[in-house]
Structure 1
Amino acid sequence: MKSIRLVILFLPFLGFAQNKLIVEVDGVKSSLGTINIAVYNKEEGFLKFESVFLSDSAQANTGKTMVQINDLPNGEYALAVFHDENGNKKLDTNWLGIPREPIGFSQARMKTFGPPSFKECAFQITSDKAIKIDL
Structure 2
Amino acid sequence: MGSTFSVLAWLTASAFWPLTNPAALSPETTAVNVVVSNLVSDKATLKLYFYNVKANFLVRNHYTLLKYVKPAGRTKVVYPIQLPPGEWAIALTQDLNENDLVDRNMVGIPTEPFALSNNVKPRFRVPTFDDCKFTVQGAATTVAISMK
TM-score (norm 1): 0.81
Pick from 80, 88, 92 the counterpart of residue 68 of structure 1: 80
Pick from 68, 71, 82 the counterpart of residue 93 of structure 2: 82
Q: CA deviation at 1:108?
A: 3.8
Give the equivalent residue in structure 1 for 2:43.
32
Q: CA deviation at 1:18?
A: 1.2
Runs ≥4 residues deviating over 4 A: none
What is the aligned length? 122
1:1-80 matched pairs, under 5 angstroms: 16-60=27-71, 61-70=73-82, 72-80=83-91
Pick from 76, 91, 96 the counterpart of residue 102 of structure 2: 91
Report if the CA contact (8 A) 1:77-1:124 is conserved: yes
Q: CA deviation at 1:106?
A: 0.6
Pick from 99, 123, 145 the counterpart of residue 112 of structure 1: 123
Report if the CA contact (8 A) 2:104-2:111 is conserved: yes
Matched residues, percent identical?
28
Q: Which moves more between the two structures, 53-62 or 21-30?
A: 53-62
TM-score (norm 2): 0.74
Report the Cα distance in structure 2 between the residues aligned to 1:90 and 1:62, rounded to whole angstroms.
22
Report the Cα distance in structure 1 between the residues aligned to 2:125 and 2:99, rounded to whole angstroms.
23
Report the Cα distance in structure 2 between the residues aligned to 1:103 and 1:38, rounded to whole angstroms.
11
Report if the CA contact (8 A) 1:109-1:116 is conserved: yes
- Which has a greater percent of strand? 1
User: Which is higher, the Rg of structure 1 or of structure 2?
Assistant: 2
Task: Identify unmatched segments of 5+ residues in structure 1.
Answer: 1-11
Counterpart secondary structure, 2:54: coil
